[in-house]
Amino acid sequence: MNKRIHYLDWLRFLAVFLGLVFHSGRPFDNWPWLIKGPELGWITFFNEALTTVRLPLLFFVSGAATIFVLKKMVKDYTLDRMIRLLIPLGMGVLLIVPPQHYIERISLPPSDPQHFSGNYWQFLSGPWLHGGAYPLSSLRTEHLWYLLYLFIFSLLALPIFLYLRSAGGLALWARLERWFMAVSWRVWLLVVLPAIGISLLPLIFRSHPGLVQDLENLLFFFFVYVLGFALFHKPRLLESIFSQRKLFAWVGLVLVIGKAYLFTVVWKHDTFSPGISLQNFELYWLLRNLAALCVVFAALGYAHRYLNRPSPFLEHARHWVYPFYIWHQSVIVVLGYFVLKLAWPAWLLYGLLMLSALVVTVALSELVQHSALSRFLFGIHRRSGRKSATALLETSKKLR
């Protein structure tokens, strides 16, 4: 597969944009977060529905995009992943994320022992630098955890990817394709079996939340990541998914709404609190897994049908994806600190915050494009069709 897949670029851009929509609503839902404003009744329901699909979609598209990284020499793969993921992660943790912690600390009431009243530079030289047992031990990744786990997934999945590219792997995948495509309903096994299997972890360990919750979540994301690669490595099976896009969309919509309703209206408390029953916890993950896979498949089908064409906007905007993701949450938190001081209705504050965050994040993402140093730090390369690691290494040499 040598040509760009335009609808995958659109889906990746959509998944990153949904992150901005989701985090713009966090100050107004009833879950704890870095900054909080007046509660907006429907936002918790909306965010519960949104969080069901945005990260699975992002990991799926990331897995599919890995094909382009591996299409040349394998020896460049690990280096490419380090440069494009670990360097932006390190830069973001040191430069982009700290303003979030500063805003969080100064937003706390003075009676809170974590409240901080100094300026940003005092915060950096004080609590941020020396807030732990040793310097910089209080560093947090916040939303950039995605880059860390994407790097880990890319290494863990490499033996699987290499096997799928081998003669034995190609033969096995060809047999699986023929079996799945022989009867239309069999493609649904790609939804049902993983969703049920992965959601059984709490029952197996008889424990929640904590480690089991993290393992279940990461195992599902890892499966979605590998599935994205497998389906696009030899994309014949995608035809069955595309042909059933309407059914996937309806089933996914019902599951997303049902999950959000159960866990924001019926039970009305934190899904992951110790008080929730193990059965409810199990149901949460089962519905999440089923809904996410259905919506991802539906999105694939509709994007393939309506968005599979080049666009001047897309050709430019696809380079925004990395910086957009890295910038967006810090922009929301900083702008939110000032927006929430306005005596406006909650829905107007939400709209203003989301719109202003979108404008500023796009502007910053565009600004990143105009410097070799910033492109390197944000993991961007513009040389489609060449080895990404080589391109980025050439950029790094120019900076010396």
pLDDT, position 72: 61
Q: Could you tell me the pTM of the whole model?
A: 0.90
The answer to whether 259 touches 48, Cβ cutoff 8 Å, is yes
Task: Please name the residues in contact with 26: beta carbons below 8 A apart, sequence gap of 6 or more.
Answer: 33, 34, 47, 332
Using only the alpha carbons of the chain, give its radius of gyration.
22
Query: How far apart are the C-alpha atoms of 338 and 123, rounded to whole Å?
Result: 19
Distances in Å between the Cα of 295 and the Cα atoms of 46, 50, 54, 155, 213 are: 15, 11, 10, 27, 22
Spell out the per-residue pLDDT of the chain, length 400, in tens: 557 789 999 999 999 999 999 999 999 999 999 999 999 989 999 999 999 999 999 999 999 999 888 876 677 888 889 999 999 999 999 999 999 999 999 999 999 989 999 999 999 988 888 776 556 667 889 999 999 999 999 999 999 999 999 999 999 999 999 999 999 999 999 999 999 998 887 666 655 555 556 778 889 999 999 999 999 988 899 999 999 999 999 999 999 999 999 888 887 655 555 555 667 777 888 999 999 999 999 999 999 999 999 888 888 888 899 999 999 999 999 999 999 999 999 999 999 999 999 999 999 999 999 999 999 999 987 644 344 444 444 444 444 4
pLDDT, position 395: 42
pLDDT, position 387: 43
pLDDT, position 234: 86
pLDDT, position 73: 62
**Residue 379: which of 92, 152, 153, 139 has the closest Cα?**
92
- Up-side HSE of residue 89: CA atoms within 13 Å toward CB? 20
